[in-house]
Amino acid sequence: MANYRCGRCWKTFSDEQLKVLPGIRCPYCGYKIIYMVRRPGIKTVKAT
């Protein structure tokens, strides 16, 4: 089940896919702005 969504390519992915990468970024395009879609409402998670 997808928990996150990329802010650029708009693809969805799970938190396990994020763990593989160093830091929080899209596993498809590398974009650093990820939207959390786990709960109702969208929360922005921005990588430092």
- Please state the residue numbers annotated as binding site: 9, 26, 29
- Which residues of the shown chain bind Zn ion in the complex (CB under 5 A)? 6, 8-9, 26, 28-29, 31
Minimum separation from the CB atom of position 5 to Zn ion (A) = 9
Q: Which residues fall in the annotated binding site for Zn(2+)?
A: 9, 26, 29
CA nearest to 38, candidates 8, 18, 23 = 18
* Span between the terminal Cα atoms of the chain, in Å: 26
Q: Which is nearer to Zn ion, 32 or 38 (CB)?
A: 32
Minimum separation from the CB atom of position 22 to Zn ion (A) = 16
